[in-house]
Amino acid sequence: MKLPGPDHPITIAKNGKRVRVKFSDRIIADTSRALTLRGSELKVGLLIPCVDATISLLKHTDQHTHCPYKGSASYFSIITDEPQR
């Protein structure tokens, strides 16, 4: 892993606010432990602990990415009752 520095700054900090993720009247996640991720070329992102998410409403996708600064990431989709496109 590479360490962030002046040429590629990344910060992860406690968010300090309650974060609720809601989709179609269902609460997907509810936490006061979210972290805020900021980087020079990134949109601000929120990291939510899995323990604060309703995992039964999520499914893993086939998408995986790797950043030499942040490491590997996998992605989830929200399970809906709507037909897949």
Number of H helices, E strands in the chain: 0, 7
45 to 35, 41, 85: CA distances (angstroms)? 8, 12, 27
Residue 10 pLDDT grade (very low, low, confident, very high; cuts 50, 70, 90): confident
Residue 85 pLDDT grade (very low, low, confident, very high; cuts 50, 70, 90): low
**Dist CA 73 CA 70 (whole Å):** 8
Cα–chain center distance at 64: 13
Question: Measured at the alpha carbon of residue 25, what is the angle toward residues 22 and 27, in degrees to the nearest 5?
Answer: 40
pTM of the model: 0.75
Fold of 10-78: 2.170.150
Give the tens place of pLDDT for each residue, 43-63.
Answer: 899 999 999 999 999 999 999
**Dist CA 62 CA 5 (whole Å):** 31
Domain ranges across the chain: 10-78
